[in-house]
Amino acid sequence: MTSHELARQLRLRFGNVLSEPVVFRDEVTLKLTDAERIGEICTHAKRTLRFDLLLDITSVDHYGEDPRWTVVYELYSLTHRCHLRLKTDVSEEKSELPSVTKVWATANWHEREIYDLMGIRFRWHPDLRRIIMWEGYPYHPLRKDFPLGGKPTELPDIAFTKTAPIEGGPFVTSPGGRDTIEREPRAKTPEN
């Protein structure tokens, strides 16, 4: 079976909760309109349609829009050798989704990363705590309203005490240039 056929089966089972499959560059995406049903849909995708692997869960910040975030689930079927992408929106007001850790154990770290860096909570997660930033850090650094240079901190033994310089700094990619190496931020040194 192809991704498109499996997506259609999933849509037949759940009806208008899922959009029509969208195909772009041979990748199939279904949009879920009721985020509360993500666990039920993922359970069916795994048990019935054989999407055995959760490859990734990511999030996109649409700062200034409502709903603010889109959470994206990348599934893979070893049986059918195909991918399927599920997307659902999360509003800033609610900023919470049901966890899918009971469907795929690999969701554990993905959900923790999204919670840590975007601030989206996952209800019923067995251990929802920060995975990169330290406990007690009050911000979510991948949000679009987080300053690119970071924020000053009062914890000098843990993190920087000032914001990082941006303009002309070592992490700024140069437009143009002879080749990729010249444009690559890692290749820059204060002498360049």
pLDDT 10s per residue in the chain (192 long)? Answer: 999 999 999 999 999 999 999 999 999 999 999 999 999 999 999 999 999 999 999 999 999 999 999 999 999 999 999 999 999 999 999 899 999 999 999 999 999 999 999 999 999 999 999 999 888 888 899 999 888 777 776 665 655 556 655 555 555 555 566 676 665 555 445 554
| Alpha-carbon span 12 to 30, nearest angstrom | 12
Strand, coil or helix: 31: strand
Query: Looking at residue 102, what DSSP letter applies?
Result: T
Predicted pLDDT at 188: 47
Provide the residue ranges of all domains of the chain, joining segments of one domain with +.
Answer: 3-146, 148-192
Sign of the dihedral through C-alpha 93, 149, 71, 4: positive
Distance of CA 19 to the CA centre of its chain: 20
pTM (two decimals): 0.82
**Type of residue at 138:** P
Predicted pLDDT at 3: 95
22-24 and 27-32 as β-strands: parallel, antiparallel, unpaired?
antiparallel
Helix intervals (H) in 2-106: 3-14, 38-47
State both tokens at 91. 């509003």
| Alpha-carbon span 179 to 86, nearest angstrom | 37
Choose among 95, 9, 111: nearest CA to 54: 111
State both tokens at 109. 């770290």
When computed from its CA atoms, the radius of gyration of the chain, rounded to whole angstroms, is 20
Predicted pLDDT at 67: 95
CATH number of 3-146: 3.30.460.80
In sequence order, the β-bridge partners of residue 29 are 22, 85
Helix intervals (H) in the chain: 3-14, 38-47, 107-118, 180-183
Residue recorded with tokens 């994206």: 72
Predicted pLDDT at 138: 86
Sign of the dihedral through C-alpha 98, 103, 104, 105: positive
